[in-house]
Structure 1
Amino acid sequence: MWDKVKQLIGTAAPMVGTLIGGPAGGAVGGLVASALGVDNTPEAIEHAIKNDPEAFLKLKQLEMEHAQELKRLSLEEGRLAMESARIAMADTQHAREQHRDHWMPSALAIAMVGMVALMFTAMMFGPPMPERYDSVLMIIVGSVLTAFSTAIAYWLGSSKGSVDKTKHLKTSGG
């Protein structure tokens, strides 16, 4: 519901519209509700925007009066998003670091390649499946291919190549 309100507000007050959908949305929603004289609910705000001819003017005025605070909230929201991305990347890097010399990447890659090869061999040369199983078969194939691509990207992706290159440079004295 807030997405609809966000779009409506964004046409008159883009900074307010952007912030209302993010982590600071509750505070910004309260400012919007107060400026429009309604409850702080998406329904009440949407109703006021659609039915009050001066709503957009009030929102624009709100944005101008609170420009500094809105900019600060926007910067804080960006900082939080960057921190979240940094934590996710560090987590992935840590997991790769923990398993970099493990036998699992090779075993997993071989097992996944074998499973995909057998699956497609069975589909091409095996007995035809009854039509009523087409949907189930496509779901299974999609799931296997998704797992295959995820495993390959995790274990053998560009980060793995970078780790191997760094290890080679350290051992060769480069």
Structure 2
Amino acid sequence: MNWSDIGKAVGAAAPMVGTLLGGPAGAAVGALVSSALGVPNDPESVNAVLATNPDALAKVQELQLNAKVQLQQLAVTAENNRLQAEAAQYSAEAADRDSARKLAAQQPRDFIRPSVTIILLLGALLIIAAIFMGWNRDVITDPTAAITVGTVMGLWFSELKQVLGFYFGMTKESQKQNAAITDFAVAPGTVTRSDK
């Protein structure tokens, strides 16, 4: 059992406390809850009191009212920490791309990067042509083949986007979009023909 489980248990009675228990500030809020209930600072003890004492939820509601400012400060601190971690991760990713570009600039006779880019671009054009020309009608109407082809296409375009991002830059939002497209492409599902 952890603090997020306690957050679910108290969420209806004290929504702010429940939300904070389920987030990164869960341990700090858990300490406040256990102190208000007069039990040791661990989720199991708090859960035992919530299960056996009908007044326990009232005490948690009272805590929410009395410590509203402190709880809001914890929420703001947790969000700031999350944003700082996300910014640090993005900075590390940008520095990694920048170092790769600098290395590429120092290797003027390198043919691997351009060759991979051209292969991925030509493959993407071939995939698009196959879709619009109807060359793959039998493949996409077969559920098993459609899953395989969809996965390969999703990965192909994902890699193409990464390669083009190397040359033209990439933003945090485009990385999120790329991940969402890849997840959609590799998700189980079927494509069926509609003859209606």
Report the TM-score when normalising by structure 2.
0.58
Are 2:11 and 2:17, in contact at CA under 8 Å, matched by a contact in 1? Answer: yes
Are 1:13 and 1:60, in contact at CA under 8 Å, matched by a contact in 2? Answer: yes
CA–CA distance in structure 2, aligned partners of residues 43 and 115 of structure 1: 59
Q: Does 1:116 align with 2:152?
A: no
Q: Which moved more, 1:111-120 or 1:129-138?
A: 129-138
Q: Which moved more, 1:137-146 or 1:126-135?
A: 126-135
Structure 1 residue 144 displacement after superposition: 1.8
CA–CA distance in structure 1, aligned partners of residues 4 and 166 of structure 2: 33
Q: In the alignment, which residue of structure 2 is the partner of 1:167?
A: none
Question: For structure 2, which runs of at least 5 residues remain unmatched after alignment?
Answer: 106-111, 172-196
Q: In the alignment, which residue of structure 2 is the partner of 1:73?
A: 74
Structure 1 residue 114 displacement after superposition: 1.5
Q: Which of the numbers 168, 173, 179 marks the counterpart of 1:156?
A: 168
Structure 1 residue 84 displacement after superposition: 0.3
**Which of the two has greater helix per residue?**
1
CA–CA distance in structure 2, aligned partners of residues 118 and 88 of structure 1: 35
Q: In the alignment, which residue of structure 1 is the partner of 2:154?
A: 142
Are 1:36 and 1:58, in contact at CA under 8 Å, matched by a contact in 2? Answer: yes
Q: How does 1:37-116 map to 2 (within 5 A)?
A: 40-41=42-43, 45=47, 48=50, 53-101=54-102, 102=104, 106-116=114-124
Aligned residues: CA RMSD: 3.8
CA–CA distance in structure 2, aligned partners of residues 152 and 139 of structure 1: 20
1 or 2 for the larger relative contact order (CA 8 Å, sep ≥6)?
1
Are 2:37 and 2:46, in contact at CA under 8 Å, matched by a contact in 1? Answer: no
Structure 1 residue 87 displacement after superposition: 0.5
| Distance 1:107-1:17 versus aligned 2 partners, 3 A rule | farther
Counterpart residue identity of residue 147, structure 1:
E
| Distance 1:127-1:82 versus aligned 2 partners, 3 A rule | closer
Question: For structure 1, which runs of at least 5 residues remain unmatched after alignment?
Answer: 160-174
| Distance 1:115-1:3 versus aligned 2 partners, 3 A rule | farther
Q: In the alignment, which residue of structure 2 is the partner of 1:133?
A: 145
Report the TM-score when normalising by structure 1.
0.63
